[in-house]
Amino acid sequence: MSNGFLPISREDMRERHIKQFDFVYVIGDAYVDHPSFGHAIISRILELHGYSVGIISQPDWKKKESITILGEPRLGFLVTAGNMDSMVNHYTVSRHKRKTDAFTPGGVMGKRPDYAAIVYCNLIRQTYKKTPILVGGIEASLRRLGHYDYWSNKVKRSLLLDSGADLLMYGMGERSVIEIAEALDSGIDVKDITFIDGTVYKTQKKEDIYDAIELPSFEEIKSDKRTYAKSFYTQYCNTDPFVAKRLYEPYPDGIFVVQNPPQKPLSELEMDEVYALPYQRTYHPSYEKLGGVPAIEEVKFSLISNRGCFGGCSFCALTFHQGRIIQTRSHESIIEEAKRITEDKDFKGYIHDVGGPTANFRAPACKKQLKSGACPNKQCLFPEPCKNLVADHKDYLSLLRKLRNLPKVKKVFIRSGIRFDYLLADSDRTFLRELCEYHVSGQLKVAPEHISDAVLEKMGKPNVSVYKKFVTEYNKMNEKLGKKQYLVPYLMSSHPGSTLKEAVELAEYLRDLGYMPEQVQDFYPTPSTISTCMYYTGLDPRTMKPVYVATNPHEKAMQRALIQYRNPDNYDFVKEALLKAGREDLIGFDEKCLIRPRKPKEMKDSIGKTRRKNDSGAKKERIREANKKQKKTLRNVHKKKTR
């Protein structure tokens, strides 16, 4: 009790004189009591409303008793896989196992199962047959209806069904969890809690589903990709809390999975309340001897100023999870948190970030959004800024100035994404000037993602001309300020719509820029994004037109290698890609060429030696071939000797 964290053991229960918890919260992450961690917010908001919560962090899913250490809760179990989808947490895009887990003490990998939300719920149900189970978090939120699962390469059922949970909470669940808690506390059976926004429930009574859109059945979306794409886009167009309809998806045996409309955005006062809760702002002290929890380092001295994003990138799941309407905290709330940060013994004077999904969004995109919601079939910034968009950085600038002037604060950085198209849409360049003057540490990371307009269109990103304009203005502003600061562009390979032709265009752009990225993000098909729908179906769900998709690991490796064409390890891939794209003109000694022809000796030396870190399939095949040649040579040598 003295350490200020929520109880994690029977001993903690005895200290607090708790005989039975109202809720037991099972989480896939280490227990970190910081508002950047969903489990901290949900548990603290329940505590604020008078409910006791015990935490079971990373239980051993192979042992049933690991779920019983705090006893049976009075109202129910809460379950979350953690701050990340457990499959993204475990695997790279090439499906290789990651080596570390930033959300586990000591960064150790393997402390949670694959598909953790499902496994934890099933583990609970083995022991507690009738206790309500409420599942939430990003993994559940993005798998709330039938969805394409990249890791198994098939369409999977709603996580609600596979988990055996009674209710699924999607989005940011502060309101939903309190409404559910109050309903359970009043004696309502969990099976009758079908009326709360931001939740998904199951029923066999179709007649009780009202004012709803019927989606294609699970059997239909599983067997027909075109039907899947149509169903997905219906869901995508019903993510706004003001205009969204209730959706339901039929399953065999007369089961219907029903998605209620999203919860309304939190007001500024409600956001302030959430972030004023008594967080300890660090990991539980029991992890100290294990080396702490690495993820805290990214957020310990950062400030969350907003939620939601109206950027609408096709590959981002924020539309499905936090929504498109921006929710903000007051300046007073953020400054109060900043003051607490400055008192931390490890604070060196640097606030690492002030932002959210997109740092420079501090208000809804237009005035009508808080009354009528976001437009279901139109984007705020794509293909160009909407005429109703209010592009204004005055409030964000005011906040940053206040933070810069706090005692003990030397520098305030912005590390969240900056939407450069939104910045350019603001006719006032004061924000750009102060960004360059005060908030950049030598390099500013931005995300053009690609430079081919054909690919950018599929990404839901502005034309490359917009990015080039921003680069020009950024460089001019730094020159004017007498600063040498650079842009670090995030780039993505193999996004739907990208053929080898577009990948070569990107390589040529990098050549002209004189820049080779140290890291490349290959497109990762995570649940519930437009891009993932394109990847699986080969169709753009917005238009139902065919989209080229690179799904072959070898081609994906070529596209990725082109971005890092200067890396000698990528030579063979780059050469093959250029030949396949009909761009032999880029192999030579001219300054515009990407690679030079290899001399015969270099070609010989490369056999069996080239490393293929980004494409295990290609790597294994080449090693196999080299080994065959080596064995054949050895056999021939042996024959000659025996003769």
What pLDDT digit, counting tens, does each position of 323-377 carry?
999 999 999 999 999 999 999 999 999 999 999 999 999 999 999 998 889 998 8
What pLDDT digit, counting tens, does each position of 137-163 carry?
999 999 999 999 999 999 999 999 999
- pLDDT > 70: percent of the chain: 93
Torsion sign over Cα 412, 416, 420, 423? negative
What pLDDT digit, counting tens, does each position of 261-304 carry?
999 999 999 999 999 999 999 999 999 999 999 999 999 999 99
Does the pLDDT of residue 614 top 90, yes or no?
Answer: no
d(CA 632, CA 643): 17
Do domains 301-440 and 442-597 share one topology? The answer is yes
Q: Please, which pLDDT band fits residue 613 given cuts at 50, 70 and 90?
A: very low
pLDDT at 436: 97
What pLDDT digit, counting tens, does each position of 555-579 carry?
999 999 999 999 999 999 999 999 9
pLDDT at 517: 86
- Judged on CB neighbours under 10 Å (0-12, 13-18, 19+), 343 is exposed
Q: How many Cα atoms within 13 Å fall on the side-chain side of residue 637?
A: 6
Look at domain 301-440 and name its CATH class. Answer: alpha beta
What pLDDT digit, counting tens, does each position of 64-87 carry?
999 999 999 999 999 999 999 999
Q: Which residues contact 456 (CB under 8 A, 6 or more apart)?
A: 449, 450, 462, 463, 464
Does the pLDDT of residue 548 top 50, yes or no?
Answer: yes
Q: Which residue has the tokens 């989808």?
A: 85
pLDDT at 633: 47
Q: Please, which pLDDT band fits residue 606 given cuts at 50, 70 and 90?
A: low
Q: Please, which pLDDT band fits residue 630 given cuts at 50, 70 and 90?
A: low
Evaluate whether the domain defined by 10-259 bears CATH number 3.40.50.720: no
pLDDT at 515: 87
Q: Please, which pLDDT band fits residue 621 given cuts at 50, 70 and 90?
A: low
Torsion sign over Cα 396, 400, 406, 412? positive
Reading the block at residue 562, the tokens are 């082109």
Torsion sign over Cα 167, 154, 88, 103? positive
Each domain of the chain, given as residue ranges in start order, spans 10-259, 301-440, 442-597
Look at domain 442-597 and name its CATH class. Answer: alpha beta
Give the single-character DSSP code of 527.
S
pLDDT at 642: 40
pLDDT at 634: 43
Integer angstrom CA distances of residue 359 from 110, 350, 368: 33, 17, 22
pLDDT at 132: 98
Reading the block at residue 186, the tokens are 């009043």
> What radius of gyration do the chain's Cα atoms show?
26
Does the pLDDT of residue 643 top 50, yes or no?
Answer: no
